[in-house]
Every structure is written in structure tokens, then in C-alpha cells.
Amino acid sequence: MKRHLAGALGALVALGAGGADAQAVKFGLLGGVSGPIAALAPAIIDASRLAFDEVNAQGGLLDGRQIEAVVGDAGCNPQSGGDAASKLVNVEGAAAIVGAHCSGATLAAANTATIPAGRILISPASTSPAVTALEDGDTVFRTVPSDDYQGAALARALKAQGYGPVAVTYLNNDYGKGLAEAFRAEYAAQGGEVAVFAAHEEGKASYRAELAELSRSGADTLAIFDYGDGSGLTILRQALENGFFERFVGGDGMKAENIIGELGAENLTSFVASSPTGEGGEALERFNAATVAAGGDPNAIFATSGYDAGMLVALAFEHAGGDLAKMGASLRAVAGAPGEPILPGEWAKAKGLIAAGTDIDYKGAAGDMEFDANGDVPGAYALFKVEGDGFAVISAIE
């Protein structure tokens, strides 16, 4: 699967020059190809491509039209996200967008491009509660749950494991702030103490002054709501080097194998992180098998939700008969009960049932995709620890 991302941005230019088959249906894949989650983005993009490959191999869309994936780089940045989405929609003519990955980029992409154009956008990785509040005319969805859920779940898990006072530092963007605020509210509700709660800016060479101030709170645990491929790594490294805290906690953005390679597993025995997980069962097993067969890592963060977002845009397009104005309603129709269950890889079955007018209900690799009124889905979480060169589950989180 790694072969897909190589040269993806070059392919974007080539497609724009008119090299695409006129009968192809273009779907945009908008992700953090560069920036603080660049190490995470390939697996998410490749998972969506896997879904598209399966569609193309099992009859394609409508009368056999092939999906053509067009990659845009949001850079985990609102300005870049808006610009890249505008190019995908207004220049490339993408029928829908899977992305972006970072919440700020998704918000900008939606407001700048997809909402005005009436195109659906499904993010597989943006977790900020701010996405819920978008006035989007039922065009913005996500296959990963809101951090309103994750922050609360992490807070409950820490209390259950006996954690005491916690110092919180969060990246001053939509993702960091939303996750941190959800965590703080639930930790307090559970009787825990957030000893200090402070934002930090991205990209600084040193956070030692901020860490020294945080450590003066007396908390022995530091919660870092940031990205493990960005400033979160710098903060964790400098906290360890200076012995400011005894224990460390992160959200899904910090569950990055990069921190293990940079800091060493032996130095991360007191680090834990929360992350959404698949709900198990046959849907996840089918995704895992297909991903391994394609040379990918089924355990990569947001790979399951990336696959589901790709499959869902294809199902919505098929159900809507190619009418882009109907794709929001069609997405809800193919994702929700009642209907004949459709599992990952079952495109031909879904295509036949849609043609026959039979209701379907997609059961995703990341869980059941029952969208609420805001386009959000429920989710399952787990608490992870570092083990070897990867992460292992400590416990599931209610």
C-alpha cells in the first residue's frame, strides 16, 4: 500500500493537466502529507485507496466507471487545507472529499470549498468538537468520533487506574483545545484534579520554561494534547530530559511510533495514550486481512476510519446515482439501519442490492457508522502503552 502515496502530489498535477479518463469519477483524498502528522498520513490515505481499489475491481461505480483518487496536501494547516480543498473541488472536479486529517484543516476545507459547492466531506481523523458545530447543510461527516467522547473516556480511564493531580498542556489549535477541554471537564466530574491547564504554541525549539512552570503545580502526571510527530515530541523529550514529571499521558495524536524511535521504549514506560479502536468482529477481520494482503499495517492509527470513509463516499455516490446533490442523504441511507449488512470488501454485493432497490447498512472496520444529526459517529477507545517498537492495549475504555 505504501506504493500509493509515492508521487501522489506529482500525480495531482498530471491529472489536472488533462491526463484523466473522462469517464472516471474523482474523489479527493485530503491529508496531512506534510506537517506534524506526515508520518501518520500515508496509512490513512492508503486505507481509503484500498477501498477504491476494491470498488474498481468489483464492477466500479454505476455503469462501470472507475474511481480516480486525487491527493491534496492539507499540511495540517487551515490555510493549506482550504487552498487544497478548493483545488480538489473547483479545479479537479472531485465529487467528494475524504479528509482532511487535522481538525483545523478540515474546518477550513469545509468552509472554503465543500460547503459552498454542496459536496460531501468525510473526515477519517478530525476529532475536534468544533466540527460538530459546522453549519454544513448535511454535507460534513466523519468516521471517527468527536473528542468530546475521547477526552471524557481518557479522563475516566485515568481515574480508574488511580491517577492523581494532572498538569495539562495542549496545542493551541482546534484539535488540542477541544480534546483538552473535554478531558478537563470529565476529570473534574470524576473527582480528579487538573492542577494546571495551559496552551502552548506549535514549533518552538524549547518548551523548558513552560514545563518548569507546569511542574511547579505539584502534579506528577503531564497530559500532552498535541502530535507526536510535532511539538508534542519536543515537549515529551524535554520533560523527560529534565525530570519534570513522573508519568505522561497523551491522546490519539501522541500515539505515534515516531516517539518510540526518537526517545526509546525504555524511556517511555510511564507513557500512555488513548486512541479510537475498531469494535472487532468480522468487519474488522476482513479489513485487517485485505490490508495485510496489500502490504499495509492494519493497526496504523485511523487506518480503519480511512477505509470506511473511502467505502462510504463510493456507496453514497452509487446510491445517489451520481447526483452529487443527493449524496448527503444517500450517505445516511447506506450507513444506517435498517438494511442488508455490507462489510468491508463487499462492493459487488452492495452494488447489486442498491440496483435492486434494497436497503443496505454498511458495517465499518472502525465500527458501526450510524451518523447522528451532526454527521458524527459513536466510537470505541482503548488505553495504550509502549511495548517494543509499537503500542499495546492496556484496557478498553467505556
Q: pLDDT by residue for the chain (398 residues), tens digit each?
A: 433 433 333 333 333 333 344 489 999 999 999 999 999 999 999 999 999 999 999 999 999 999 999 999 999 999 999 999 999 999 999 999 999 999 999 999 999 999 999 999 999 999 999 999 999 999 999 999 999 999 999 999 999 999 999 999 999 999 999 999 999 999 999 999 999 999 999 999 999 999 999 999 999 999 999 999 999 999 999 999 999 999 999 999 999 999 999 999 999 999 999 998 877 799 999 999 999 999 999 989 999 999 999 999 999 999 999 999 999 999 999 999 999 999 999 999 999 999 999 999 999 999 999 999 999 998 788 999 999 999 999 999 87
Question: Which pLDDT belongs to residue 9?
Answer: 37
Residue at which a domain ends, from 238, 269, 300: 269
If asked whether residues 189 and 209 sit together in one domain, one would say yes
Question: Which pLDDT belongs to residue 8?
Answer: 38
Task: Give the closest residue to 382 by CA, choosing from 154, 143, 178.
Answer: 154
**CA–CA distances in Å: residue 261 to residues 9, 103, 264:** 27, 26, 6
If asked whether residues 182 and 311 sit together in one domain, one would say no
Domain count, the chain: 2
CB atoms within 10 A of CB 192: 19
Residue 386 lies in a domain: no
Cα 383 from Cα 379, distance rounded (Å) = 14
State the alpha helices, DSSP H only, in 58-173.
Answer: 78-86, 103-109, 115-117, 147-160
If asked whether residues 197 and 163 sit together in one domain, one would say yes
Task: Give the closest residue to 29 by CA, choosing from 62, 82, 74, 77.
Answer: 74
Is residue 135 helix, strand or coil?
coil
Task: Give the closest residue to 334 by CA, choosing from 304, 308, 312, 366.
Answer: 312
If asked whether residues 263 and 172 sit together in one domain, one would say yes
If asked whether residues 299 and 189 sit together in one domain, one would say no
Domain that includes residue 120, residue range: 2-144+280-351
Residue 391 lies in a domain: no
Question: Which pLDDT belongs to residue 279?
Answer: 73
Strand ranges (DSSP E) for 226-291? 247-250, 271-277
Cell of 161: 487506574
Helices 282-293 and 41-57 cross at an angle (nearest 10°) of 100
CATH number at residue 91: 3.40.50.2300
Going by the DSSP 8-state scheme, the letter that residue 131 receives in this structure is G
If asked whether residues 105 and 19 sit together in one domain, one would say yes
Cα 349 from Cα 372, distance rounded (Å) = 26
Is residue 299 helix, strand or coil?
coil
Question: Which pLDDT belongs to residue 179?
Answer: 96
If asked whether residues 305 and 330 sit together in one domain, one would say yes
Cα 132 from Cα 140, distance rounded (Å) = 9
Phi-psi domain of 35 (left: phi exceeds 0; alpha: psi -120 through 50; beta: other): left
R_g over Cα of the chain: 21
Is the alpha carbon torsion for 277, 279, 285, 286 positive or negative? negative
Is residue 366 helix, strand or coil?
coil
If asked whether residues 12 and 139 sit together in one domain, one would say yes
If asked whether residues 256 and 323 sit together in one domain, one would say no
If asked whether residues 155 and 140 sit together in one domain, one would say no
If asked whether residues 122 and 26 sit together in one domain, one would say yes
Note the maximum CA span of the chain.
Answer: 66
Residue-wise over 78-104: b if at least 16 C-beta within 10 A, else e? Answer: bebbbbbbbbbbeebebbbbbbbbbbb
Q: Is the pTM of this model over 0.85?
A: yes
Residue 376 lies in a domain: no
Residue listed under C-alpha cell 491527493? 71
If asked whether residues 128 and 9 sit together in one domain, one would say yes
Residue listed under C-alpha cell 487535522? 102
Going by the DSSP 8-state scheme, the letter that residue 243 receives in this structure is T
Is residue 168 helix, strand or coil?
strand
